[in-house]
């Protein structure tokens, strides 16, 4: 039996039932809370969720074989428990590559064309000319060269931008659309000279708190820093300090250390900081693509074959 758990706001944006494949032969049921799905724990062998699984109670699902995550990030899952149970965890890697890369480019254009000034002038009913720039010949550093990073590079190349990437292993020639590739170990020394730096990193022991004040200070004062990966990669107090001291030109955050972002956070006070509530990824197309991936994996699951997008419990992504 397939259990669809909708106990997260991510899945409440759209009606999951509208996107679930209609030709699935297995019995399936939608649950609004973990307590509800827990009542059917002996029947469930597949769970579709977005990370809200009880770490201890999940161990009572004796027939659970596979958890399909609607999200790419899996840091909120009870990974140790699932590993101990021998459950396969897969995610939606690649599904949100188009939407997030489009979001990042939209923010880059907004900074380049000074659209924030246009919005403010409209509010103030002020007809006033102001300076603008171009993306042409700018330099973009993409930290995290997974499916989102590669799609962002593909699209950004159309603006005649110099594009560099950062990843753990640097072997062979640079992938398509990347002019240069640097190892993660050299991240800080390559920050200078870039107009835009985009972080698309997962949440791991190595990435948490990665972007501290010294990291921001090593960037150029012209740099726009953007984070569409995981919120815990950024020490927000250090970003606030960097913005206050003019160490970077501006920033964009779609993810945060604690969500929802508190209304008392000083991050709200900066005119040169764009904030979105962790919505760069989900669109109607997101769920369509996710269900295509789920259905493909379901066919492999029935045949006892290896699934796509399996999470490594050791690497945590």
3-state secondary structure 25-83: CCCEEEECCHHHHHCCCCCCCEEEECCCCCCCHHHHCCCCCEEEECCCCCCCCCHHHHH
- Kindly report, residue by residue over 75-102, the tens digit of the pLDDT: 889 999 999 999 999 999 999 999 999 9
Asked if pLDDT for residue 284 goes beyond 90, the answer is no
- Average pLDDT score over residue span 149-160: 98
Residue 253: name the closest of 206, 305, 211 by CA. 211
Q: pLDDT over 90 for what percent of the chain?
A: 84
With bands split at pLDDT 50, 70 and 90, how would you rate the model's confidence at 19? Answer: confident
> Can you give the pLDDT at residue 76?
87
Mean pLDDT of the chain: 94
Asked if pLDDT for residue 170 goes beyond 90, the answer is no
Asked if pLDDT for residue 235 goes beyond 70, the answer is yes
> Can you give the pLDDT at residue 70?
86
- Higher pLDDT residue, 240 or 285? 240
Separation of alpha carbons 311 and 317, rounded Å: 5
- Higher pLDDT residue, 8 or 55? 55
- Kindly report, residue by residue over 249-281, the tens digit of the pLDDT: 999 999 999 999 999 999 999 999 999 999 999
> Can you give the pLDDT at residue 28?
93
φ, ψ for residue 28, nearest 5 deg? -140, 155
- Kindly report, residue by residue over 182-234, the tens digit of the pLDDT: 999 999 999 999 999 999 999 999 999 999 999 999 999 999 999 999 999 99
- Kindly report, residue by residue over 107-125, the tens digit of the pLDDT: 999 999 999 999 999 999 9
Q: Tell me if 77 sits within 8 A of 53, measured CB to CB.
A: yes
- Average pLDDT score over residue span 163-167: 97
Asked if pLDDT for residue 12 goes beyond 60, the answer is no
Tokens of 113: 């064309």
> Can you give the pLDDT at residue 136?
98
Q: Which helix (H) or strand (E) holds 300?
A: helix 284-302
Asked if pLDDT for residue 238 goes beyond 90, the answer is yes
> Can you give the pLDDT at residue 57?
97
């Amino acid at each position: 039996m397939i259990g669809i758990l909708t106990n997260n706001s991510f899945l409440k944006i759209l009606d999951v039932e509208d996107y679930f494949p209609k030709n699935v032969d297995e019995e399936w049921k939608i649950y609004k809370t973990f307590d509800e799905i827990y009542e059917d724990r002996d029947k469930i062998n597949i769970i579709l969720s977005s990370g809200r699984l009880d770490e201890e109670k999940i161990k009572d699902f004796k027939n659970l074989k596979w958890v399909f995550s609607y999200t790419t990030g899996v840091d909120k899952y009870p990974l140790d428990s699932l590993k101990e149970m021998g459950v396969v965890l897969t995610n939606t890697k690649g599904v949100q590559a188009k939407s997030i890369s489009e979001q990042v480019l939209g923010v880059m254009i907004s900074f380049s064309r000074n659209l924030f000034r246009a919005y403010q002038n409209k509010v103030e009913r002020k007809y006033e000319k102001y300076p603008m720039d171009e993306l042409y010949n700018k330099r973009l550093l993409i930290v995290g060269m997974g499916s989102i990073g590669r799609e962002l590079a593909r699209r950004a190349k159309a603006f005649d931008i110099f594009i560099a990437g950062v990843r753990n292993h640097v072997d062979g020639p640079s992938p398509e659309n990347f002019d240069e590739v640097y190892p993660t170990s050299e991240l800080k020394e390559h920050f200078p000279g870039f107009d835009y730096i985009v972080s698309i990193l997962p949440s791991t022991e190595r990435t948490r708190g990665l972007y501290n004040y010294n990291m921001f200070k090593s960037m150029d004062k012209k740099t726009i820093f953007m984070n569409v990966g995981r919120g815990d990669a950024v020490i927000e107090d250090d970003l606030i300090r960097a913005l206050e001291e003019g160490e970077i030109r501006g920033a964009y955050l779609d993810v945060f250390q604690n969500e929802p972002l508190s209304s008392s956070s000083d991050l709200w006070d900066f005119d040169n900081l764009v904030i979105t509530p962790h919505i760069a990824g989900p669109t109607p197309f997101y769920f369509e693509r996710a269900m295509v991936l789920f259905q493909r994996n379901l066919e492999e699951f029935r045949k006892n074959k290896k699934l796509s997008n399996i999470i490594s419990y050791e690497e945590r992504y």
